[in-house]
Structure 1
Amino acid sequence: MTNTNREWLLAERPDGEPDVDCFELRETNVPDPAPDELLVRTRYLSVDPYMRGRMRDVESYAEPWDVGDTLKGGIVGEVVESASDAYDAGDLVTGEGRWADYATLDADDVAPVDPAVADPEAYLGVLGMPGRTAYFGLLEVGEPKPGDTVVVSGAAGAVGSVVGQIATRNGCRVIGFAGSDEKTAWLTDELGFDAAINYKRTDDYRAALDEAAPGGVDVYFDNVGGPITDAVFTTLNLDARVAVCGQIAHYNDEEIPTGPRKLPQIIPVRARVEGLLVGDFATRFGEASERLTEWVASGDLEHRETVVEGLENAPDAFLGLFSGDNIGKQVVRVPSSMNE
């Protein structure tokens, strides 16, 4: 094990869309684990859209980073030194780490990774926070019923792709919005979506929805916001449910555009619009993980990860989220040597 640790810092707060100047890579010493901690070498690092909010100097559901802070995110890593009886050197674990080669994690705050169930990177996607978000967001907030029509924006992403498959399992008709023909084909040909709309090649979202969902929309799982959401709100059925999970269309806006006023549209249909934070379901994470693991192990739940090679490319992987580079979960692989 080397004594040198690379860490990515927040170098400056972005003005609008972030760029590489917002990040700084520095070298530090590898930390020593305190009692009940683990020294973990990162093998896979998660980059997620919510991290854009942590780059702002405003209070939100996720604590903002200060300029000069080491960036944090979900990791899958190998225990290289253990000061806990719970794990041994060589074990694979997942938890909240850093954009770094090495990090110390409290043994109580990590979970084991079983490569026999799925590749390790899946524990940052379908078997991690995005999978749990999809599970609780759809089933608890969306409350799908057999025969419902479910629309998912950002459907080819880490959360949306799981939402659509769970909705299909529940007997729903599922329509997804995604940003390329490759993505829409993946949704319909492999994940079982009934229809998929390439929003980059569609001028009239409402007309596309009318064709794909002529009976209207009962559940909308919103990962995107913007004009797609404006269109979906005009198609909501009586007692529709809307789970607002993300608004990536606005994350880089310095001033949020108003757009069409949507509230009058939900009055006659008595639709319920509810914000979603997966942390609210923390006491039930075990339930979600058990079900998701069962579905993945049986082949009933498909998943895909877009892997960017090298810790040095972590900022590019993060920025790629806003241009739609990923299909499924975007992760960074951190090799331990040039030969790995």
Structure 2
Amino acid sequence: MRRKPPLDEAEIDALLAPLQGLRAVLIAVSGGPDSTALLAMAAKWAQRAKAPPNIAAATVDHGLRAESAGEAEAVGALCRQLGVPHRILVWNGPKPQARLQELAREARYRLLAQCAREIGAEAIVTAHHLDDQAETALFRLLRGSGVGGLKAMAENSDLGGLALLRPLLGVGKRDLVAYCEANGLDYARDASNHDPRFARTRLRPLVDRLAEEGLDAASLARLARRARQVEDALIRQTEAGEARLHLTTEGNCDAQTLFQEPIEIVQRLLTAAIARVGGKDASRIGLEKIEAMTQALARAVAEGAPFSRNVAGARVRLARGVLKVEIEPPRRAS
């Protein structure tokens, strides 16, 4: 009996259907098996698809490993074979000692977005897959994330006006490696994926252990999908609450009316108002701070007591039943 090839044309066509209708896309290719598979699949798909987008690829050389420049050149060689334009994007300057992976990720997306705009691409396409989704959900669960964090990665999100597409979130890494091997595609093996300094590296043995107990990558990805559904509902309910209260837009509202909303909606409205007034990214305001403040504020409202607390550059103040979110006043010199 003939063995079914990994990821046949029909499956690939379904995976890459979200690219149909776009004028141009930029594929992020590190040279590892995941992005190498995506690059090859997209190049071959574009040859048989009706009105496919123009496809280009880019490799970010973070300059963190001696091998990175050679890996980027190897991607360029593969792109020439596939007829795909390719650019190497270099993260220049001194590298941080702390939060290295986080800052490298920010630099990577910044460089990719700049490149996409230069070539007129409407979307950046990455090779994040099922195992990445599972790791992200578990990583955030272990760090006490709320529902918004447990949703993990979206198949389609916004990156500064560009679409960020992840068409392989339902595909396991094993299948992508098998695709590379079945099609004779060489790929890089990043030693940093085994570096215990990085949290995700330390997390992977736990992922394997949980899989043995039945909580495998597919189960964690299913948790992320369900969390996304809940998050979407909460976003709509928060928008409806804001339409009634105008806390974010006007910076004040009746406190009793606010606390008629579910506590999750209260926290989200307060976070949005604080972020707007304080000029902060709402996702950077710690959930624990918001939860503690909301609990204290709820007690003050119930008791008819005054309340004032500074959070993320804003002051949340309760007086005579009116809640105000204002710019935090300057601290007095000691």
Instruction: Name the TM-score, length of structure 2 as normaliser.
Output: 0.31
Structure richer in helix, relative to its length = 2
Structure label with greater radius of gyration = 2
Instruction: Tell me the TM-score normalised to structure 1 length.
Output: 0.30
Answer 1 or 2: which has greater strand percent. Answer: 1
